Amino acid sequence: MEIAEITEKLRSIVRPYVDDKSLLENINGDTDLLKDLKINSAHLVDIILDAEEVFNIEIDDEAAEKMLTVKEAVRIIAERVNAKT
């Protein structure tokens, strides 16, 4: 799966957890999920669960802890998605 496609899917996964939708406009690789998108840290686990479902992958705890920026999240998801194919 292409990085662009993964990024787009991740954006729609993250979207419901962001109250101020305008924050999503300038999303890029360096965007920090907690600080820049003001996502409640308790919802990181929900985002990871949603990503597992959408991409049909498993994200272990060690990887999950690293999924704090868009870039890292996309990298971790891409690794697992592409490992399967």
| Contact set with another protein (CB under 8 A) | 16-19, 21, 40, 42-43, 45-46, 49
Please report how close the Cβ of residue 78 comes to another protein at its closest, in angstroms. 22
Please report how close the Cβ of residue 4 comes to another protein at its closest, in angstroms. 25
Give 8 or 19: the residue with its C-beta nearer to another protein: 19
Task: Give the chain's largest Cα–Cα span.
Answer: 36
* Rounded-to-integer distance, Cα 36 and Cα 84, Å: 31
Q: Are 12 and 53 in contact (CB under 8 A)?
A: no
Give 46 or 72: the residue with its C-beta nearer to another protein: 46
Give 3 or 34: the residue with its C-beta nearer to another protein: 34
Helix spans in the chain (H): 3-14, 44-55, 61-64, 70-84
